[in-house]
Amino acid sequence: MRILLTGAAGFIGTHIGEVARERGHEVVQLDMFLEKAHGPGPRPDGFARLDLRSDPLDEILQGVDVVCHQAAMVGNGVDAQDLPDYAEHNDAGTARLLAAMARAGVKDLVLASSMVVYGDGRYLCPQDGDVPPAVRRDEDLAAGRYDPRCPVCGGQITWRRIGEDTPFLPRTSYAASKVAQEHYAAAWCTLEEARTIALRYHNVYGPGMPADTPYAGVAAIFRSAIARGEAPRVFEDGQQVRDFVHVRDVARANVLAIEQVAEHPVGLTAYNVASGRTFTIGQMAATLSAAAGGSEPVLTGDYRRFDVRHVVASPEAARTGLGFEAEIGPEEGLAALATDPLRTR
pLDDT for position 37: 61
Residues 295 and 153 in one domain: no
Residues 149 and 169 in one domain: no
Taking residue 47's Cβ as centre, other Cβ atoms within 10 Å add up to 17
Residue 345 lies in a domain: no
Residues 218 and 267 in one domain: yes
Residues 257 and 312 in one domain: yes
Give the single-character DSSP code of 337. Answer: H
Last residue of a domain, one of 112, 133, 161: 161
For 3, 7, 96, 191, 330, the CA distances from 205, given in Å and listed in that order, are 24, 17, 29, 36, 10
Residue 126 lies in a domain: yes
Question: Over the chain, what is the mean pLDDT?
Answer: 92
Number of compact structural domains in the chain: 2
Residue 110 near residue 264, CB atoms below 8 Å:
no
Distance from C-alpha of 258 to C-alpha of 262, rounded to nearest angstrom: 8
CATH at 112: 3.40.50.720
Residue 190 near residue 179, CB atoms below 8 Å:
no
Residues 292 and 208 in one domain: yes
pLDDT for position 255: 98
Q: Please give the full DSSP string across 77-130, using - where no structure is assigned.
A: --SGGGHHHHIIIIIIHHHHHHHHHHHHT--EEEEEEEGGGGSS-EEEETTTEE
Taking residue 133's Cβ as centre, other Cβ atoms within 10 Å add up to 22
Contacts of 59 (CB under 8 A, 6+ apart): none
Residue 254 lies in a domain: yes
Distance from C-alpha of 308 to C-alpha of 171, rounded to nearest angstrom: 8
Residue 343 lies in a domain: no
| Phi, psi for residue 113 in degrees, rounded to 5 | -110, -160
* Phi-psi group of 64: left, alpha or beta (phi > 0 → left; psi -120 to 50 → alpha; rest → beta): beta
Residue 156 lies in a domain: yes
pTM for this one? 0.93
Last residue of a domain, one of 161, 188, 223: 161
Residue 317 lies in a domain: yes
The parent domain of residue 131 ranges over 122-161
Residues 67 and 139 in one domain: no
Question: What residues of the chain score a pLDDT lower than 70?
Answer: 35-43, 76-78, 212-216, 345
Residues 155 and 166 in one domain: no
Residues 135 and 90 in one domain: no
pLDDT for position 100: 98
Residues 210 and 229 in one domain: yes
pLDDT for position 76: 64
pLDDT for position 220: 83
Last residue of a domain, one of 161, 192, 215: 161
Distance from C-alpha of 115 to C-alpha of 119, rounded to nearest angstrom: 7
Residues 207 and 252 in one domain: yes
Q: Where are the beta strands (DSSP E) in the chain?
A: 2-6, 26-30, 66-69, 108-114, 122-125, 129-131, 158-160, 195-201, 203-205, 233-234, 241-246, 267-273, 278-280, 298-299
Taking residue 218's Cβ as centre, other Cβ atoms within 10 Å add up to 18
| Phi, psi for residue 327 in degrees, rounded to 5 | -105, -20
pLDDT for position 22: 97
Residue 344 lies in a domain: no
Residues 54 and 183 in one domain: yes
Residues 19 and 87 in one domain: yes
pLDDT for position 213: 55
Residue 329 lies in a domain: yes
